[in-house]
Amino acid sequence: PAGPTFSSGIVELEVYPETDFTERFLGATIAIPANGTKALTLALCFGDDSVKTTARAAALAAHPDALSAHAKEYAQWFEKFAPRFYAPDPQMQKMWVYRWFVARYNLAEIGIGNLKEPAFYEGRQYYSRVIQYSTPHILDETRWLRDSRFAYGHINNLVASQFKGAAGKFDGEFPFLYVNSRSDLWYINWIDMAAWGVYKTHPRAEFFSTIAPALERNLRGMVAKYDGDHDYLYKLGGVD
């Protein structure tokens, strides 16, 4: 069957369904006369409210300089949330700016499924999910954002989907997390310590009633699974 259609203001664009999601594409035919030119502005927006999303895309497409408008809006996120750092070394300054670009680039504010709160993916091309191995590194960095909901959101998503009982590799395991599923594929991590760092940066009273019990459960389960002789040296395998 034909895929859903979207009004582009120029022609109807059709999403052609294929077996592999990565093969889907938007197709349109636009006539350009010999020696002629045609300027196009393509705006792509995602959202769970079709009316608002369509209106936003239409506004961008109609803007006389949509790219500059988008860049200005994108830059406002850094002005609002990124911490400031100034160094006489331009390379150090460039690295600082780039690190916060990477954080923003991998931010996922989906609001549904297993990612109801903000989360940061390990990457975009191959690692677009929440992964335990990178989570503590992400938390250690994003705790410095001016709004605590980003780091706390990442933790809360994991807590809400935590494996309990025999469901995962061990009781209390934090999952390998997708928006619509979770996996018990496990990497060694120091999420507990990183989460404590988030609390020290942005103290929240509810931390001890909501997050701390889950951290304790994760740590106790990890010790029981991988440190049977109690020498504090985990006996791991697989990806670790």
> How far apart (Å, rounded) are the C-alpha atoms in residues 167 and 223?
17
Is 130 a residue whose pLDDT tops 90?
A: yes
pLDDT at 187: 87
Place of tokens 């390990």: 122
Q: What pairing do the DSSP bridges indicate for beta strands 12-15 and 107-108?
A: unpaired
Secondary structure (3-state) at 180: coil
What own/partner pairs with CB < 8 Å and gap ≥ 24 does 174-178 have?
174/132, 174/135, 174/218, 175/132, 176/129, 176/130, 176/131, 176/132, 177/114, 177/115, 177/119, 177/129, 177/130, 177/131, 178/114, 178/129, 178/130
How far is residue 78 from each of residues 103, 200, 226, measured CA to CA in Å?
10, 23, 41
Q: Hunting for tokens 């297993």 — which residue is that?
A: 114
Classify residue 35 as left (phi > 0), alpha (psi -120 to 50) or beta: left
pLDDT for the residue 192: 95
Residue 22 pLDDT: 55
Judge whether residue 60 has pLDDT over 60: yes
What are the contacts of 17-22 at 24+ separation with CB within 8 A?
none
User: Higher-confidence residue: 40 or 17?
Assistant: 40
pTM attached to this predicted model: 0.81
Residue with token string 């989907």: 161
Query: Using CA atoms, how far apart are residues 50 and 154, in angstroms rounded to an integer?
Result: 26
- Residue 97 has a pLDDT of 92
Over range 71-95, report the average pLDDT.
Answer: 92
Residue 191 has pLDDT above 90, yes or no: yes
Q: Which pLDDT does position 216 carry in this prediction?
A: 97
Predicted confidence at residue 221, as pLDDT, reads 93
Predicted pLDDT of residue 5? 43
